[in-house]
Amino acid sequence: MKTVPHMSHLETRRTMAGIASIEFAVLLPMLLLLAVPTYDLARNIQANMILVNVSREGANLALRASLTYPMETIMNDLASTTPPLDMANRGMIYITEVMGNSENCNAQGTNCTIRNIVLAQYEWQPNGQQGAYTPSSAVWNCSSGNWGSDGNCGGIGAGLAAPTANALTGQLAAGQIVYVVESFYKMQYLFGAANFGFGASTTVLNPNLYSMNVF
């Protein structure tokens, strides 16, 4: 009659450790596949919240402090509240002054149409020069050669010659002025799309983040 050799406690521990190592090696890619996209999603949510705060507070400040402080100073103050975002290299802020303008009135000066026009537009210039990331404003896009050293767009016409603002169409009264603040950020994610085959794949988060507020 043969006897089964008895494993020592040390051998048992080594066997269990080996099994645990194999299980960990198998599970690690799956854990990373879950953890890294979750980290990117959390960063995306955080960046969106920061941009919303920048545009909301910027619109409020532009309305209250535009006659006291230069717009560039206001935008610098807004950008200083954005860490951990790298606004100087991956972000942008625009402030656009918009007014409802009466046009096409009849002989009696009534039955006018209201067109929202751009009175002024300001581009944030980190470190006193145009930033590395310059997306187009959704309100109105100043020609690249018209930006002044103070971040102010030059050459904007007045009255009927003023450009149309693509914001608050039909919502402003004649002579009513508002400030539209736009904040942009281009995210850099750690995780891209993953294709598992059989039509199964992960989605890619949009790297181009945007927020707009009006005051």
Tokens of 200: 């199964």
pLDDT of residue 196: 47
- Residue 8 in domain: no
Q: How many domains does the chain have?
A: 1
Q: Which of the two residues, 2 and 171, has the higher pLDDT score? A: 171
- Residue 24 in domain: no
- Residue 4 in domain: no
pLDDT of residue 200: 47
- Averaged confidence pLDDT in the chain: 85
Residue 7 pLDDT > 70 = no
| Residue 40, domain extent | 34-214
- Residue 58 in domain: yes
Please give the Cα distance from 67 to 44 (Å, whole number).
Answer: 35
What angle, rounded to 10 degrees, do the helices at 9-65 and 71-79 form?
160
The alpha carbon dihedral of 168, 207, 150, 77 has a sign of positive
- Residue 62 in domain: yes
Percent of the chain past pLDDT 70, that is, above it, reads 79
- Residue 193 in domain: yes
- Residue 187 in domain: yes
- Residue 22 in domain: no
Q: How confident is the model at residue 21 (pLDDT cuts 50, 70, 90)?
A: confident
pLDDT digits (tens, 9 = 90+) for 79-108: 999 999 999 999 999 999 999 999 988 887
